[in-house]
Amino acid sequence: MKNLLTLKTWPAGDVDRLLHQAEESASSRTNRLCGDLTVANLFFEPSTRTKSSFEMAQKRLGLASLCLDASASSVQKGESLYDTAKTMEAIGCDALVIRHPERAFYEQLSGLNIPIVNAGDGSGDHPTQSLLDLLTIKQEFGQFKNVHVVIAGDIKHSRVARTNIEILNRLGAHVSLTGPEKWLDDSTGAEQILSMDEAAEQADVLMLTRVQTERHQGEDLYTKADYHRKFGLTLKREKRMKRDAIIMHPAPVNRGAEIAGALVEAERSRIFKQMQNGVHVRKAVLQHVLELENATIDNALV
């Protein structure tokens, strides 16, 4: 049985093969009939892009989707994640896509006999977001080796940052961080810490991350305007970026905080391209975990 829980166990060659599968997917919008297969989407945290792109990927693959509304489920009566997931397996679901506020939630689901895709676990990992980010960078630069990626913002609480730093390092990128000192995490393995002004000037990819206010436990360090002035991509900083540098952000975007609103759809922005790539990547991931006949991903993937 194949899962996608974290990219830490995936060799670089296997990641590259999945990205190739996603690129092939981008050239086709046709549905592929996959037989009588159903994927349950269990989202215990709010989501727009991840949830919707998984649903779109399922639609384009010809899969049935079952979407659980946690706020109207037996979770509100105290049902455990395991029992909820086991119920989905019992009623006939063939795979689960799960987002949960607990880090490494999947460790409590070892009793399941159907594949699990991690759609974000607290401040731990977000493997499918990382894969779509990798695809976006690959489309732009053709490789990862020596590409300077600066990840900016609330690094400590960002599962996107954590996953991207680890895999980008393994793929040969040069990874730096910038942001408030209190929100930087020196355990991530980034090569250097930059000021935001240095980041704007040096980055090939300036990857902004959302301020994770819901994980700050009421701690309010900056006003929106103050954060933008000190740590955001302002119009002035954007003018100092390299000619071919790109802007990325996993979204949702706090306009006027992490980035000036006018830059979200600027020529160098790839924010909406990332969202498009999310559907292609998640199609490839579903093909992988469900071992669909028309998938071309190597069976050695685990």
pLDDT in tens, 49-104: 999 999 999 999 999 999 998 888 888 889 999 999 999 999 999 999 999 999 99
pLDDT on residue 292: 85
Q: Find out whether 17 is annotated in a ligand binding site.
A: no
What rounded mean pLDDT belongs to the chain?
90
pTM exceeding 0.85? yes
Judge whether 245 is annotated as a binding position: no
Q: Is 148 assigned a ligand-binding role in the annotation?
A: no
Tens digits of per-residue pLDDT, 6-53? 999 999 999 999 999 999 877 766 556 566 899 999 999 999 999 999
CB 262 within 8 A of CB 183: no
Stretch among 21-30, 168-177, 195-204, 210-219 having the lowest mean pLDDT: 210-219
Q: In the predicted model, is pLDDT for residue 302 greater than 60?
A: no
22 is in an annotated binding site: no
Residue 181 has a pLDDT of 86
159 among annotated binding-site residues: yes
Radius of gyration of the CA atoms of the chain, in A: 19
Distances from the Cα of 179 to the Cα of 219, 220, 282, 288, angstroms:
16, 15, 30, 36
For residue 237, say whether it is annotated as part of any ligand binding site.
Answer: no
109 vs 70: CA distance, rounded Å: 17
User: pLDDT band for position 296 (50/70/90)?
Assistant: very low
What is the set of domains in the chain, with CATH numbers?
A: 12-125+275-290 (3.40.50.1370), 127-271 (3.40.50.1370)
Residue 301, phi then psi, degrees to nearest 5: -60, 140
Does 270 appear as a known binding residue?
no
